[in-house]
Amino acid sequence: MACAVSTEFDLDAAWQLAPQVQVRPERFGALLYHFGTRQLSFLKSPALLTVVRGLAAQPSARAACQAADVPDTQLPSYRRALGTLAAAQMICPREVA
């Protein structure tokens, strides 16, 4: 459980999907399952799935949102959604070399 839990999600930090998490795409978005905590989470839109999948390849969560064409006006709601995923340990901070 190396994931930090923070109420203020840092859009400018580097993030990734947690190692024990599997993603199953669904019509509405995706299901996430954490084999460590045995918790399910839901991604409520395909766009959010694109963002989450892009996290590991982007220098920051903000960059992952931009790469997924998330309009700036929607950034606050994406930030909330990512914060919820971080609190559930579904995504975690990534060490940047």
Partner 1 sequence: MSAGTLPLVEQFSYGLDAPICLTWELTYACNLSCVHCLSSSGRRDPGELSTAQCRAVIDELQRMQVFYVNIGGGEPTVRPDFWALLDYATGHDVGVKFSTNGVKITPAIARRLAGHDYVDVQISLDGATAAVNDAVRGPGSYAVALRAMRHLADAGFAGFKISVVMTRHNAGQLDEFQSLADSFGAQLRLTRLRPSGRGADVWDQLHLTAAQQRKLYDWLVAHGDRVLTGDSFFHLSGYGAALPGLNLCGAGRVVCLIDPVGDVYACPFAIHPAFLAGNVRDPGGFARVWRESELFAGLRQPQSGGACESCAAYGSCRGGCLAAKFFTGLPLDGPDPECVHGHGEHALATADTAAVPRPAGDHSHRTSPRGPVPLTLSRRPPVSECNANPLAGFVPPGR
Q: Which is nearer to partner 1, 12 or 69 (CB)?
A: 69
Minimum gap (Å) between residue 51 Cβ and partner 1: 10
Minimum gap (Å) between residue 43 Cβ and partner 1: 8
Residue pair 41/88 in contact (Cβ under 8 Å)? The answer is: yes
Residues that bind partner 1 (CB under 8 A): 22, 24-29, 31, 33, 35-36, 38, 40, 42, 44-45, 47-48, 74, 77-78, 81
In the beta sheet, which residues pair with residue 21? Answer: 34
Centroid of chain to Cα 72:
17
